Structure 1
Amino acid sequence: FLPPDDWQNDVFSGRILFANPEPHFCFLPEIANGYIGTVAMSAALFQSGLFNGKCGNVGKARLPSPIGGSIITGELIASALHFEKAVFTRRYQFDDQNGAIIEHSVYISQTVRY
């Protein structure tokens, strides 16, 4: 499958890594800024220095992610990681009268600490 027309220049110049179909969840990119991080579209978010557990069974605390998840009513038609913008994007198409297209992008700021 070819990338969407508006992504093609960035794909062919190496700024976007495009996939269709999307790879298994285990192969989705990790997005982080040194303070918080997540796997793209994951339900979990991890914060630097925040751990839980006891008696030697300590690990990073999993926090609910407000940026993860999927749109389940549309058809996933493309996904991509933009290297320059550090954004992971999924593009969905809906089978309504207008053939609406929606993009769901995940970005973690390099300057804003949440």
Structure 2
Amino acid sequence: MKWLAKQKPADIWDEAIEGPLGDIEAAERIRAICAAATASAAGSARNDRQDSERYERAGRVAMEIAMKISDGLVRDDAVHRIVDLCMMANDIKTAQILFRAIQASWIREMVQRDHPALVQ
């Protein structure tokens, strides 16, 4: 009775990207990935193995997309969203590395205000 079994929908970060993304499209995709991975990040913080794997895949794909963004402010905003996701998952090491990559001072200040643990 396979035809009655519900198929699990694919995660947004597992979907193939057709063609090159512009900076705005890449930032929108990162925003969607981070929003979709929020529950997995929270589960990852609780040491749920399946949620940890989903969070790690989502974060990896989001970081790969962010590296291809050419506009500095758009990239910094996208990295800010990924840092928020990392902090939700209690992945401080990755969040600190990404925090150092943010170039815009006002975005760095906003991240510091939201996550003071990154500065320590």
The TM-score with structure 1 as length reference comes to 0.20
**Greater helix content:** 2
**Greater strand content:** 1
The TM-score with structure 2 as length reference comes to 0.20
Tell me which structure has the larger Cα radius of gyration. Answer: 1
